[in-house]
Chain A
Amino acid sequence: MYWSGLSAAANAAAAYQTGQTGYPVGHTPTGTYTTQRAAGSTYDTGYQTAAAAAATHSTAAGTYPSAAASATYDYGYGRTTQTAAAAAAAAYDSSKTYYAQPSTATAYTGADTHYHNKTAYTNAGAYTTTSRQTTPVVTPKTSYTSTYPGAAAAAATATYNTSPYAVQTTTANKATALPVYMQQTSQPATAVAAVKTPGNTWQTFKKQGTVPNKTQKPKAPPKPQQLHYCDVCKISCAGPQTYREHLEGQKHKKKEAAAKAGPTPSRHGASLRCELCDVTCTGADAYAAHIRGAKHQKVVKLHQKLGKPIPSTDPVVVGGTTKTSTTTAGTAVGAKTTTSGTTAAPTGTLAATTTTTTSDGKKDDLKEDLLDLKEKDVEPVGQEYIEEIKNEEGKVISFNCKLCECRFNDPNAKEMHMKGRRHRLQYKKKVNPELVVEVKPSLRQRKLQEEKLRRQQLREEMWRRREEERLLEEEERWYWEERRRYEEECEYLDWCRRYPRGPPGPPPMMPPGMPRPPFMPGMPPMMPMRRPDSSDDRHVLAKHAEIYPKEEELGAIQKIVSNTEKALKMVSDYLAEVDAPKEQHIKPKAKKEKEEVPKDDDDKKDGDKKEDGPPRMLKGVMRVGILAKGLLLRGDASVQLVVLCGDKPTRTLLDRVADNLPKQLAVVAPEDKYDIQRVVEEAALVVQNIGEQRISVNVTLTSPIMREQLLHDGDSQVTAVKDPPDVLDKQKCLDALAALRHAKWFQHTFPQARANGLQSCVMVIRILRDLCQRVPTWGPLNSWAMELMCEKVIASAGQHLSPGDALRRVFEALASGLLLPGSPGLLDPCEKDPIDAASPLSAQEREDITASAQHALRLIAFRQIHKVLGMDPIPPPKFQRGGRFTRKRRRDNSTGEGNDSEGGDGKKDKKEDEDSKMDMDKDTNSSKHLMVEGH
């Protein structure tokens, strides 16, 4: 019910708690009459009923007249009386009361003792009113009753009037004896008072009590005079015509209405009144100015003419009692909040007696008040903010207060202004927050302040909510991120399971019949990155899909490579057969290449042969380069195989292989035609298919012996002599060996069975390969250096990188000068000596690649990755990506410390208030909703 509403508004547990600490404080005094209250309801329900809207109130209204005291008792007097009044008069709509409630409620939750005191004070005030009012009620004046109907609203009010009044008159007699009880009963009376003149404070009544002749005046019909004198407006009219017009006029009606309702209460604690002109002045100075003023003089003259009595120029002090009660309330503040209820009551009685006494008492009051006004004579402040406006002659003609934005012509007025409350408030607000400005006990202001406090609290709450929401969102975000990664890896593993491949290790040697592993290790076609994140990722993935070879391309390459491999195997067999009987000149080396070992999982025939032991001339064929690494791109039409020979490969051997290979190829693939060329200078032969897709397979002959010799170059000079005369180009053979090592390194670094977070790396390498092919600047960067660099750079990130991030990191590394002179260089892990893998690059090439990478990095950073990748930009996906979220974060960022910086100008706030209130309500509601859902 209402609690929920209240908690929605006051929501925050923290704020609420403070409010609760506030309750007991006020509650203690009410303990004295709990018994009475018990008749009504418990504290909480009582609170609720009182605080609820008119609808709820009507239920309580049944018990109202009888248990009126118990219904309005406890701490929320100020509030409850209001509600009571509102409900009874039915002037407020329910929503309004709803808003009114939280406002007071928040005032409490503010936990400011100050506010407790204030309510206590209200009480005292209300009390004074009613007790004073008893006088007119007991001895009713005609004037009094006549004013009544004008304001009395509903019939219900009438009934209220009677019963509480009855109670009150009786209690008023015993007032001093039973102050506590008295106070209670006074509550409903206040309610009635409020009903009578909604929106008016008790000062009205005081006015009526003290200056009855004033209120009587409107009753008396204006006597026709020679001078057409309007009593209400205190003016004379030239003739009957104008007089009538005046009476019809708005101005007059307003005045009349105002007079009926009683003079408007001054907002100040005490003010001076000119009885004659019915003008209220805020201070002695103002009053003096008025008396001196032309208007007053005119009225005086008029009255003299009419022979009307002219009251003395002594000011009538208005609100004197207010002052006293304020001060006592003030002392109550000093004393203790817990006792505020009880102290307030006696104060009320005291004040009541003062006012009900005769005129000498009043005079005392007056004197006191004048004294007070004098005492208030404060130091003027903010002199420096008052500009003097001079005319051409340099004479000061007026003053402009920059703080209050007002002007005066009179130096006196300026002085007064500087002492004035408004100015002081402005000064406090704009210059020195510590300036003490006397508290103004106006109901309106308090309401404003409460409203302000409530608003501020709401705002704070909203921020808290937002923050919470943000944190929650962020947390969930992480959760999903985590989960996405997990899924990704699962998928990857799944994929690997579907295409199993032997444990990573030395690749098997030439297994003709064995089902080959998928052609592209490392990355399944269209590796499922199901939820690509950033725009960079999406671009990289799209580009990757673009450069990844098509199925048929892969098929074609697969076919020619496996045919060549099979044929080479048969050539090997053939050569072994041919050589075996004749010569044993090739000694099996003690150090057989490891590649030989896997041979035994070949077919039995092969195994049998091996058992026989004749050393083969051709020991095995290996895939190297892009083929082995799975870095084929679309349009690649050249792959590499390496044949390891038992001894140093010679031209003779190359010829023998080249001669025999066509025959074997014909056996392996009778329906395909292949073209075979010898490229002696490359130590290779090239197998090319004849068809629409020209794919060439470079088969390079090499032998590990070449390198062994190199490694022991220093001490084994002798062996070099043994070289056959037609041995193939040494460097080419060594390159082939290096390619073999690189392939091994690659397969070891990027094993497929293990999702080691380097999937992105292979993708990036492919994309860089494409870049090297596309962009001339990057051409000189050899693929081995590039692969090595990518691996080092991406692996050193120490965290999983999405493809987009991985690519960016590579460019970052290059941009920070990885290739420039002075950098550590790329140590080649496949060489014994420390060698920079990128050593073939010239200084200028390094410089150019670096510059290009630097530009590319900035392109990526500024959302132009498509330019780097050489593709069209991909529009963002349809859904609004985190619009709300990012906005929120930015706001957080920008507000550093001044979150509450708004709320400066009260005027503007007020306008926005309604809207923002609605918004905030919606906001809190929705966020609540969200949180409920979230859990």
Chain B
Amino acid sequence: MVMTRGRGRGMRGGMIRPMGPGPHFGPKMKQFVPRLPFDMVLCESAFPRVKAAPDESAFTQALLKRNADLSPTPAEQAAVLNLVTKIQAVMDNLIVDPGNFDACQIEEVRQVGSYKKGTMMTGHNVADIVVILKTLPTKEAVEALGKKVCDDLRAQEPQEVLVLTMLPNDRGFEISNSEATVRVLVTTIHQNLRKLDPELHLDQKILQSHLAAIRHSRWFEENAHHSTIKVLIRLLRDLRGRFEGFEPLSPWMLDLLAHYAILNNPSRQALPINSAFRRCLQLLAAGLFLPGSAGISDPCEGGNIRVHTAMTLEQQDLVCLTAQTLLRVLSHGGYKQILGLEGNSSIASEMSVWDGVVVSALEKAYEKPPERPPQDDDTDNMDADDDPMETTDN
């Protein structure tokens, strides 16, 4: 399928060239051809149903109800929209007419993250904006920008002076009023990235992740606007919040997973939400995000980077085993517990009994190799909308 090009699969042929065995290709042949794990949806034809599929309308209803619970209320949406619009306006003004503000120059301002994607959750009224600076993002410049924006906002709406706060942090700054928060994530234009000085500027990785966030929201807009995907993303993020084992999954991974689960099927028609939700667990349980799997390659990065390599091996193990346990619980009818409508998250880590069937939790398989450090040196793939980040006041 389109987005599952594993490195080097399928694009060979016509490669046979007359050449002798090169000296260095003898013994150390290829080692690693990632492969997609078993996926029932993709090979449905090999598994004709023995009996009709069980009725899942109750499960579907539960999913939809959960989604409704998770969606932000109109009031929340209005509040965040209000703040975002104001900040965006202030920033736009700064672009057009910087006036005497010379700490930095803004190249572009973009909305990203769950706000932009329409996958916000209730109770987490935070929108993300990425500001691309033309100048280099020194900490002072970022702080000055924050102050400036805050001042301008206050000037616009004097009644909000008291409630409006600005907190700089190592990603940019946050502006919040009583109802909503806007995280302003600062980055700089590509050409500047190589000029960064860790002493003086924001961390390069963070800056890159902010640029990536822009690409992500653009990709999302183009590819994943289907509302089932949004619903699924919300459900998955909720799952991630409730089950510790899913913590390592970044929002971007969840986006891609949801998109994959819903659209990557033979018919190219969106799967219904109940199948897609189950499929997500199935895919994770089958090791989609384990070493050796082709996983999902990042559509926003070159070079077929598999998104799950951003997790350490230990985390990959944890995610997989959590999904495996939940999948078994789900198949024995425990969807209410999984969705958080009943019970708690202990089902993922403790034994539970369903209809006389004992479902036991799994143990970790990953062991730290004795001498070598684990090969989890892949780059961090931080996303814009992570958990609440610590703030530094300076």
In contact, A808 and B292 (Cβ under 8 angstroms): yes
**Residues on A with beta carbons closer than 8 Å to the beta carbon of B358:** 844, 847
In Å, the complex CA distance between A903 and B195 comes to 8
**Residues on A with beta carbons closer than 8 Å to the beta carbon of B38:** 793, 796-797, 809, 812-813, 816, 818
**Residues on A with beta carbons closer than 8 Å to the beta carbon of B331:** 817, 820-823
A480 at the interface (CB under 8 A from B): yes
CB closest residue in chain A, given B358: A844
A403 at the interface (CB under 8 A from B): yes
**Residues on B with beta carbons closer than 8 Å to the beta carbon of A854:** 285, 321, 324, 328, 362
In contact, B367 and A864 (Cβ under 8 angstroms): yes
B192 at the interface (CB under 8 A from A): yes
Query: Restricting to B12-32, which residues have a CB under 8 Å from any CB of A?
Result: 12, 15-17, 19, 21-23, 25, 27-32
A882 at the interface (CB under 8 A from B): yes
Contact with B along A879-910 (1 / 0, CB 8 A): 11111011000101110111011111100000
B377 at the interface (CB under 8 A from A): yes
**Residues on A with beta carbons closer than 8 Å to the beta carbon of B204:** 898, 901
B48 at the interface (CB under 8 A from A): yes
Q: Which segment, of A153-161, A319-327, A428-436, A702-710, faces chain B?
A: A428-436
Q: Could you give 19 example pairs across A and B, Cβ below 8 Å?
A: A430-B138, A430-B195, A476-B22, A480-B29, A483-B16, A531-B29, A796-B46, A809-B35, A815-B324, A816-B40, A817-B285, A820-B327, A824-B47, A847-B358, A854-B328, A859-B365, A861-B291, A904-B196, A934-B19
In Å, the complex CA distance between A544 and B12 comes to 31
CB closest residue in chain B, given A476: B25
In contact, A904 and B285 (Cβ under 8 angstroms): no
A836 at the interface (CB under 8 A from B): yes
**Residues on A with beta carbons closer than 8 Å to the beta carbon of B190:** 897
In Å, the complex CA distance between A481 and B11 comes to 13
**Residues on A with beta carbons closer than 8 Å to the beta carbon of B16:** 479, 482-483
Contact A858 to B47, CB < 8 A, known contacts A433-B135, A477-B29, A478-B12 = no
**Interface positions of A (Cβ within 8 A of B):** 381, 384-385, 402-403, 429-434, 473-484, 531, 533-534, 792-793, 795-798, 801, 805, 808-809, 812-813, 815-818, 820-827, 834-836, 843-844, 847, 850-851, 854-855, 857-859, 861-862, 864, 877, 879-883, 885-886, 890, 892-894, 896-898, 900-905, 933-935
B221 at the interface (CB under 8 A from A): no
Contact with A along B182-210 (1 / 0, CB 8 A): 00000000111111110011001000100
**Residues on A with beta carbons closer than 8 Å to the beta carbon of B135:** 431-434
Contact A823 to B40, CB < 8 A, known contacts A482-B12, A881-B28 = yes
Q: Which of the residues A480, A809, A817 comes within 8 Å of B327, measured between beta carbons?
A: A817
In contact, B362 and A855 (Cβ under 8 angstroms): yes
In contact, A533 and B50 (Cβ under 8 angstroms): no
In contact, B49 and A434 (Cβ under 8 angstroms): no
B179 at the interface (CB under 8 A from A): no
In contact, B136 and A857 (Cβ under 8 angstroms): no
**Residues on B with beta carbons closer than 8 Å to the beta carbon of A482:** 12, 15-16
CB closest residue in chain B, given A903: B194
B103 at the interface (CB under 8 A from A): yes
B313 at the interface (CB under 8 A from A): yes
**Residues on A with beta carbons closer than 8 Å to the beta carbon of B76:** none
In contact, A827 and B103 (Cβ under 8 angstroms): no
**Residues on A with beta carbons closer than 8 Å to the beta carbon of B328:** 817, 820, 847, 850-851, 854
In contact, B321 and A893 (Cβ under 8 angstroms): no
Contact A862 to B301, CB < 8 A, known contacts A431-B141, A893-B378 = no
Query: Chain A nearest CB: distance from B232 CB in Å?
Result: 18
In contact, A877 and B27 (Cβ under 8 angstroms): yes
Query: Chain B nearest CB: distance from A793 CB in Å?
Result: 6
Q: How many A-B residue pairs have CB under 8 A?
A: 275
In contact, A826 and B317 (Cβ under 8 angstroms): no
B303 at the interface (CB under 8 A from A): yes
CB closest residue in chain B, given A477: B30
**Residues on B with beta carbons closer than 8 Å to the beta carbon of A851:** 324, 328, 359-360, 362
Query: Chain B nearest CB: distance from A857 CB in Å?
Result: 5
In contact, A862 and B291 (Cβ under 8 angstroms): yes
**Interface positions of B (Cβ within 8 A of A):** 8, 12, 15-17, 19, 21-23, 25, 27-32, 35, 37-40, 43-51, 53-54, 102-105, 134-136, 138, 140-141, 144, 190-197, 200-201, 204, 208, 211, 278, 282-283, 285-287, 290-293, 301-303, 305, 309, 313, 316-317, 320-321, 324, 327-328, 331-332, 355-360, 362-367, 377-379
Query: Chain A nearest CB: distance from B306 CB in Å?
Result: 9
In contact, B286 and A857 (Cβ under 8 angstroms): yes
Contact A844 to B357, CB < 8 A, known contacts A430-B200, A854-B362 = yes
**Residues on A with beta carbons closer than 8 Å to the beta carbon of B43:** 796-798
Residue in B51, B211, B293 whose Cβ sees the most chain A Cβ within 10 Å: B51
In contact, A879 and B28 (Cβ under 8 angstroms): yes
Query: Chain A nearest CB: distance from B205 CB in Å?
Result: 9
CB closest residue in chain B, given A850: B328
**Residues on B with beta carbons closer than 8 Å to the beta carbon of A859:** 365
In contact, B47 and A533 (Cβ under 8 angstroms): no
In contact, B363 and A792 (Cβ under 8 angstroms): no
Query: Chain B nearest CB: distance from A450 CB in Å?
Result: 19
In Å, the complex CA distance between A826 and B45 comes to 12
Contact A432 to B136, CB < 8 A, known contacts A854-B324, A882-B31 = yes
In contact, A825 and B195 (Cβ under 8 angstroms): no
In Å, the complex CA distance between A864 and B364 comes to 12
**Chain B facing A: main interface SS:** loop
Residue in A430, A533, A835 whose Cβ sees the most chain B Cβ within 10 Å: A430
**Residues on B with beta carbons closer than 8 Å to the beta carbon of A882:** 28-31
Residue in A484, A795, A854, A881 whose Cβ sees the most chain B Cβ within 10 Å: A854
Residue in A473, A478, A903 whose Cβ sees the most chain B Cβ within 10 Å: A478
**Residues on A with beta carbons closer than 8 Å to the beta carbon of B201:** 430
In contact, B321 and A858 (Cβ under 8 angstroms): yes
**Residues on A with beta carbons closer than 8 Å to the beta carbon of B140:** 384-385
In Å, the complex CA distance between A902 and B17 comes to 38
In contact, B357 and A847 (Cβ under 8 angstroms): yes
**Residues on B with beta carbons closer than 8 Å to the beta carbon of A836:** 50-51
In contact, B50 and A834 (Cβ under 8 angstroms): yes
Q: Which of the residues A827, A861, A898 comes within 8 Å of B292, measured between beta carbons?
A: A861
Q: Which of the residues A478, A834, A843, A883 comes within 8 Å of B8, measured between beta carbons?
A: A478
**Residues on B with beta carbons closer than 8 Å to the beta carbon of A890:** 377-378
CB closest residue in chain B, given A486: B16
CB-based closest 7 A-B pairs: A858-B365, A796-B43, A825-B50, A816-B286, A812-B38, A796-B46, A820-B331
In contact, B40 and A904 (Cβ under 8 angstroms): no
In contact, B28 and A474 (Cβ under 8 angstroms): no
Query: Chain B nearest CB: distance from A689 CB in Å?
Result: 41
CB closest residue in chain B, given A856: B365
Q: Which of the residues A477, A792, A808, A904 comes within 8 Å of B46, measured between beta carbons?
A: A792
In contact, B49 and A847 (Cβ under 8 angstroms): no
**Residues on B with beta carbons closer than 8 Å to the beta carbon of A900:** 194
**Residues on A with beta carbons closer than 8 Å to the beta carbon of B301:** 896-897
CB closest residue in chain A, given B48: A827
In contact, B303 and A857 (Cβ under 8 angstroms): no
In Å, the complex CA distance between A629 and B316 comes to 39
In contact, B37 and A812 (Cβ under 8 angstroms): yes
In contact, A433 and B136 (Cβ under 8 angstroms): yes
In contact, A817 and B282 (Cβ under 8 angstroms): yes
In contact, A825 and B12 (Cβ under 8 angstroms): no
| Sample of 9 further A-B pairs with CB below 8 A, known A533-B29, A818-B40 | A433-B195, A477-B25, A813-B40, A816-B285, A827-B47, A851-B324, A857-B290, A861-B292, A890-B378
In contact, B362 and A862 (Cβ under 8 angstroms): no
CB closest residue in chain B, given A900: B194
**Residues on A with beta carbons closer than 8 Å to the beta carbon of B302:** 896-897
Q: Which of the residues B29, B54, B362 comes within 8 Å of A481, measured between beta carbons?
A: B29
In Å, the complex CA distance between A63 and B45 comes to 85
In Å, the complex CA distance between A905 and B37 comes to 45
In Å, the complex CA distance between A824 and B76 comes to 43
**Residues on B with beta carbons closer than 8 Å to the beta carbon of A429:** 195
In Å, the complex CA distance between A904 and B8 comes to 34
